[in-house]
């Protein structure tokens, strides 16, 4: 079963890559735009650190690690998660989701892997570059244990992003227009470029437990710096699994209320 779905994923990736290569000019232009948006994400950091050495306990080099994780995850969100799942909304509007549901494979897997934007991989490379620059400024390399913990958190972060996006898209089964909701989620995600300790009070709680941006970018950066407690790592893994379970249940419940094109 797993091998079958891995083959399906390979087919979807290959189809998206071939489609992107048909328009090489767009591929290059979109890649340049991705780099431009990465640069704009850095601009506020340069402005804030111009007058001070640390902010909320983070130096400029350490804050670059958070920006690196933000850039990397933004590439995954906009290159692998968002393109496929936003297509679900159109399927629901047009009543064409029937054709997906009739295929002999899990519908959530099919709609989640329907389309990829390969040029967004430039964001991933830019994030790795920010990691290298950040550690150069810090003056040391990450420990092996820290790297392993950050890789685990990469998995939890992607799972959290995917689960939150499934929950957002599932609203399309009940309301006609969810574009504003998706734009709102994307805008909220922009706050992940800042270390979590910058936020206080209600915002700190919201960005840790409701929309866990801290778990996605600050925790991995802390892991790379050997600052993340083991309990936080465990709770991040448990929390991501809970989000995944809830999103799956919501998806199945939503599919059960889909009226289809023939209704």
Q: In sequence order, what DSSP letters do the residues of 33-70 get, joined into one string?
A: HHHHHHHHHHHHHHHHTTS-SEETTEEHHHHHHHHHHH
Which residues fall within 8 angstroms of residue 218, CB to CB, at 6 or more apart? 66, 195, 196, 197
Render pLDDT for 125-144 as a digit per residue (tens, 0 to 9).
888 999 999 999 998 889 99
What is the pTM (predicted TM-score) of this model?
0.86
Q: Is the pLDDT of residue 261 over 60?
A: no
Q: pLDDT value at position 86?
A: 75
**By mean pLDDT, which of 84-93, 110-119, 193-202 is the weakest?**
84-93
DSSP 142: P
Q: Is the pLDDT of residue 178 over 70?
A: no
Q: pLDDT value at position 179?
A: 62
- Mean pLDDT over 239-252 rounds to 93
Cα 176–157–30 angle (5° rounding)? Answer: 65
Q: pLDDT value at position 260?
A: 62
- Give Dmax over CA atoms of the chain in angstroms: 64
Task: Bin 54: left if φ > 0, else alpha if -120 < ψ < 50, else beta.
Answer: beta
Residue 118: pLDDT band (50, 70, 90) is confident
Q: Within 10 A of 177 (CB to CB), how many other CB atoms are there?
A: 10
**By mean pLDDT, which of 48-52, 142-146, 147-151, 247-251 is the weakest?**
48-52
Q: Is the pLDDT of residue 22 over 80?
A: no
**Chain CA centroid to CA 227, Å:** 23
Percent of the chain past pLDDT 70, that is, above it, reads: 90
Q: Is the pLDDT of residue 155 over 70?
A: yes
Residue 33: pLDDT band (50, 70, 90) is confident
Considering the chain, what is the average pLDDT of its residues? 83
Q: Which residue has the higher pLDDT, 67 or 191?
A: 67
CA distance 25 to 262: 41
Percent of the chain past pLDDT 90, that is, above it, reads: 29
Q: Which residue has the higher pLDDT, 63 or 18?
A: 63
Residue count (the chain): 263
Q: Is the pLDDT of residue 224 over 80?
A: yes
Cα 39–40–46 angle (5° rounding)? Answer: 85
Render pLDDT for 162-177 as a digit per residue (tens, 0 to 9).
998 888 888 777 775 6
CA distance 146 to 143: 5
């Amino acid at each position: 079963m797993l091998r079958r779905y891995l083959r399906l994923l390979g087919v979807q990736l290959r189809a998206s890559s071939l489609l992107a290569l048909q328009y090489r000019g767009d591929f290059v232009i979109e890649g340049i735009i991705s780099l431009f948006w990465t640069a704009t994400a850095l601009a506020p950091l340069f402005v804030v650190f111009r007058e001070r050495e640390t902010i909320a306990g983070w130096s400029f080099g350490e804050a670059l690690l958070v920006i690196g994780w933000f850039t990397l995850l933004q590439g995954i969100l906009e290159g692998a998660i968002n393109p496929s799942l936003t297509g679900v909304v159109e399927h629901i509007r047009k009543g064409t989701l029937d054709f997906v549901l009739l295929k002999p494979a899990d519908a959530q897997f099919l709609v989640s892997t329907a389309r990829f934007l390969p040029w967004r991989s430039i964001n991933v490379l830019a994030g790795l570059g920010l990691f290298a620059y950040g550690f150069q400024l810090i003056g040391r390399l990450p420990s092996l244990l820290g790297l392993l913990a950050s890789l685990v958190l990469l998995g939890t972060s992607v799972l959290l992003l995917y689960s939150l996006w499934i929950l957002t898209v599932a609203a399309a089964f009940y309301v006609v227009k969810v574009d504003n909701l998706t734009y709102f989620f994307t805008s909220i995600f922009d706050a992940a470029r800042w270390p979590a300790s910058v936020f206080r009070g209600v915002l700190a709680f919201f960005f840790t437990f409701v929309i866990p941006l801290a778990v996605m970018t600050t925790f991995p950066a802390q892991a790379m710096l050997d600052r993340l407690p083991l309990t936080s790592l465990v709770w991040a893994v448990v929390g991501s699994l809970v989000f995944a379970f809830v999103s799956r249940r919501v998806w199945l419940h939503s599919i059960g209320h889909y009226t289809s094109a023939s209704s």
